[in-house]
Amino acid sequence: MKKKRKKFKPMSMKPGSIPGSLTYIGREVKEKTKVHACVYDETEVKRMNVHRLDSLGNLDRQEKLTWIDVDGVHDIAVVDELGKTFNLHPLLLEDVLNTTQKPKIEFYEEENQLFVVLKMMHFDQENLEVDSEQISMVLGRNFVLSFQELDDTDIFETIHGRLDNPASRIRRYKSDYLLYALIDLIVDYYFLLIDRLNGHLEDLEESVLDDPQTEHQNKIYRLKKEMSYMRRNVLPLRDMIQALIREDSDLVGKQVNVYLRDVLDHVVQILETLDACRDLADNIMNNYYASISNKTNEVMKTLTVFTVIFMPLSFIAGLYGMNFVNMPELQNPHGYFYTLGVMAVIAISLWFYFKWRDFL
């Protein structure tokens, strides 16, 4: 599906509203919210499309792990009902419904829950634009809730494939490993996005060196803007994962911290690559300006050479164009041809002189 940078409708939350008031802030969506449930352990995996939210209370959440994936957060009633079923904090639900959140992590000690907000980013290669959708995740004792904006693509398809493998770590580990797997998948998408950005930059670099055009300048500005937008969404993720590793919580085990540190290394690598891409974009822009300046200098040099060649010719033509009677050369029957010959010799001599000095 072709994606464009989201334009949000004005906030309908009034100043002075009670904290935790449920108000959806995001794109206008007409499709219905979809809720998918996955209950699993080492022996089996059960998936279901949830049509009645009250049926979630019947899931075996004591012995098995539960993953609830909500596709579309515009339906306040669905989010509210899930909040009641899983005892979610009202401020947490408020952040889920506000899709303008920056990436962050929150710990709710009383509910013994952990809340994470990430940005899943997509790259529109036709318009050279990065679009993002908010992914919110809640980690509980035996469950993980994921909330994503309504989209045609299933970004967690890979995770479902790993769940089908009885030997996978997701099946053997607790819910904290599932949270890690979801975060790691989103970070992996960042690498794909950067590869595409870097590919466009390399193509631009070659084009600018071969034949710089005005459209190249526009593309460079757009790519730099998108890289800044991407960096703003990735940078908080580094602090989030560090806080998650440092947090002394029984929700995240030490064995998962090892994997989280690997994700942290990936995030740092992504930030370094983004900085390198921005430096490359700056170099391409400098090359563009240098190429344009060289072209201008070449044009000015050519115009200067022709000006110098025609200056003595203009002087001679102006000299003999004066209306004086007593000009001896005017009475010579061959004076016109002598003058043209002298002018031709001067022009040809200057031409060869400039060629000899590599001005042409």
CATH number reported for the structural domain that contains residue 309 in this entry: 1.20.58.340
Q: Which of 64, 32, 63 is nearest to 49 (CA)?
A: 32
Average pLDDT over residues 219-234: 91
Q: Are strands 113-124 and 129-139 parallel, antiparallel or unpaired?
A: antiparallel
Whether residue 167 is found in the same domain as residue 42: yes
Q: What is the pLDDT of residues 37-81, one digit of tens each?
A: 999 888 888 888 888 777 776 665 667 889 999 998 888 999 999
Whether residue 143 is found in the same domain as residue 271: yes
Whether residue 167 is found in the same domain as residue 303: no
Q: How confident is the model at residue 2 (pLDDT cuts 50, 70, 90)?
A: very low
The amino acid that residue 196 corresponds to is R
How many domains in the chain?
Answer: 2
Whether residue 199 is found in the same domain as residue 266: yes
- What's the CATH code of the domain at 82? 3.30.460.20
* CA–CA–CA angle 158, 95, 271 (5° rounding): 55
Whether residue 338 is found in the same domain as residue 191: no
Whether residue 266 is found in the same domain as residue 309: no
Q: What is the pLDDT of residues 151-162, one digit of tens each?
A: 767 788 889 888
Instruction: Tell me which of 290, 323, 342 is where a domain ends.
Output: 290
Residue 5 has pLDDT above 70, yes or no: no
The residue ranking higher by pLDDT, 306 or 8, is: 306
Q: What percent of the chain shows pLDDT beyond 90? A: 29
Give me the pLDDT at residue 297, please. 82
- Which residues contact residue 288 at a Cβ distance below 8 angstroms, ignoring those fewer than 6 apart? 208, 212, 216, 217, 220
In a domain, 10, yes or no: no
Whether residue 162 is found in the same domain as residue 268: yes
Q: Which of 178, 185, 183 is nearest to 142 (CA)?
A: 178
Give me the pLDDT at residue 13, please. 54
| Residue ranges making up the domain that contains 338 | 298-356
The residue ranking higher by pLDDT, 326 or 6, is: 326
Report the alpha-carbon distance of residue 353 to residue 360 in Å, rounded.
10
Whether residue 318 is found in the same domain as residue 283: no
Q: What percent of the chain shows pLDDT beyond 70? A: 92
In a domain, 215, yes or no: yes
Average pLDDT over residues 85-89: 90
Report the alpha-carbon distance of residue 137 to residue 96 in Å, rounded.
9
In a domain, 174, yes or no: yes
Give me the pLDDT at residue 59, please. 66
In a domain, 16, yes or no: no
Give me the pLDDT at residue 63, please. 73
Q: What is the pLDDT of residues 275-329, one digit of tens each?
A: 999 999 999 999 888 888 888 887 888 888 888 888 888 888 887 777 777 777 7
Whether residue 103 is found in the same domain as residue 226: yes
Lowest mean pLDDT among 31-35, 133-137, 191-195, 355-359: 355-359
Q: How confident is the model at residue 262 (pLDDT cuts 50, 70, 90)?
A: very high
Whether residue 179 is found in the same domain as residue 140: yes
Report the alpha-carbon distance of residue 235 to residue 135 in Å, rounded.
16
Average pLDDT for the chain: 84
Instruction: Tell me which of 239, 257, 290 is where a domain ends.
Output: 290
Residue 221 has pLDDT above 70, yes or no: yes
Whether residue 246 is found in the same domain as residue 318: no
Average pLDDT over residues 195-205: 90
In a domain, 6, yes or no: no
Whether residue 107 is found in the same domain as residue 182: yes
